[in-house]
Amino acid sequence: MNVRFQNAIPIIETLERAGYEAVFVGGAVRDRLLARDIGDIDIATNAKPDVVQQLFAKTIPIGIEHGTVLVLYNDEAFEVTTYRIDGEYDDFRHPNQVVFVSDLEKDLARRDFTINAIAMTKTGDIIDPFHGQEDLHRKVIKTVHNPSDRFQEDPLRMMRALRFLSQLGFELDSNTEQAIIRNGSLLTEIAVERIAVELEKLVLGKFVTKAFETITISKIYKYLPIFQEHEKLVREAKTYMKSPFLSMAEWITLLHQLDSSITIEHWCKSWKLSNVLRNKSKLLDSVYKCYKLNGLRKGCLYLLKEAYISEFVHLVNTMEQKKTLYDNEVFHAYQSLPITNRSELQLNGNDLLEMVPNLQEGPWIAQLLKAVEEEVVNGTLANKKEDIKEWVWEWIRENN
């Protein structure tokens, strides 16, 4: 058994010694059966949340109203959730009532898809009342019970289904697919931030082509920000979905390149994406535009950050729809730059003020440093203090 499961076995054994049941559930069990990398380990138990808190020295009640307690053990965190059934979903996200139960099967019955409704004991025995293993073997995404009911409880499950297509390369069960077509409009009822989280995982998936094909066929894009107003963009974007994107920022940049009338600012605002992602998208966009005009020149590379090289390379190759650049090629070119940021210049603003004491601080400093920076980056000026000073005096004579 995977070491991550082994690390969690003492949690299960503590609950069992106290007279309770406890099993592994969720994505970790699914991924173990698929021989994929294991993520977070989740545990389900018939012990009530207050009992779980009493049994373990370090806990955090992260969702105690829904039965979830985070147990901290040996520098790891494990979610332990009490078996439960859910009442009606009034807000398309949270049940208006949670009832704790002692029956594991009832708990598994409330879950979204059969492949996520599989439990495993500490010894590796599988508990699978809804035939999730069969669906894993058939490579099918299928809801537990009626798909329309599941999607009306929480419409985000439709986006989760599409995300699993992208990550696993499975197909949608026909009833599940038809329910997505019928219920797609419910996506407008939920927070766009939640949809964005699933969309980001989708565009990073190995089988993004398959997922976006389903988005097109099901016409679920009609209920997604921006896409609903730009059906042509949906069709065009599909032709570029040949391989997984390396970040949401790269994908937003590509969409902006496909239709420059939709700004990166508008994409990020409409999808309520972070300022960090917005700034990264703008940087990638600037480098790509520079590359298209000038090729892989020093000025373009200097705009880039080393951490974003792979995303830039993938963006270029995706837009060109062929292998035009290689990571190693761009990395070595970047490493050969005289400087990679302004702080590496051997002369700064204080040096300039000392050189010209009769001038006050002002925009001229930034203007002059930018000029020095460009000369050094392009290799027409050595990054040596005395050389730069000599160049600055010449610049001052020519501009005054």
Contact 135, 115 (CB under 8 A): yes
Band of pLDDT at residue 348, cut at 50, 70 and 90: confident
Dist CA 254 CA 29 (whole Å): 35
Dist CA 139 CA 336 (whole Å): 47
Q: For residue 128, what pLDDT is reported?
A: 97
| Domain map (residue ranges) of the chain | 1-138, 344-400
Residue range 344-400 forms a domain whose CATH class is: mainly alpha
Sheet with strand 42-45: strands edge to edge: 59-63, 68-73, 76-82, 42-45, 22-25, 119-120, 126-127
Please tell me the pTM assigned to this model: 0.87
- First vs last C-alpha separation in the chain: 75
Identify the H or E element spanning 126: strand 126-127
**Beta-strand runs (E) in 8-97:** 22-25, 42-45, 59-63, 68-73, 76-82, 84-86
Contact 290, 300 (CB under 8 A): yes
Q: What is the tens place of the pLDDT at every residue in 288-343?
A: 999 999 899 999 999 999 999 999 999 999 999 999 999 999 999 999 999 999 88
Q: What is the tens place of the pLDDT at every residue in 17-55?
A: 999 999 999 999 999 999 999 989 999 999 999 999 999
**Tally of CA atoms within 13 A in the half-sphere of 362 that contains its CB:** 6
Dist CA 347 CA 379 (whole Å): 16
User: Does domain 1-138 correspond to CATH entry 3.30.460.10?
Assistant: yes
Q: For residue 1, what pLDDT is reported?
A: 73
Contact 123, 13 (CB under 8 A): no
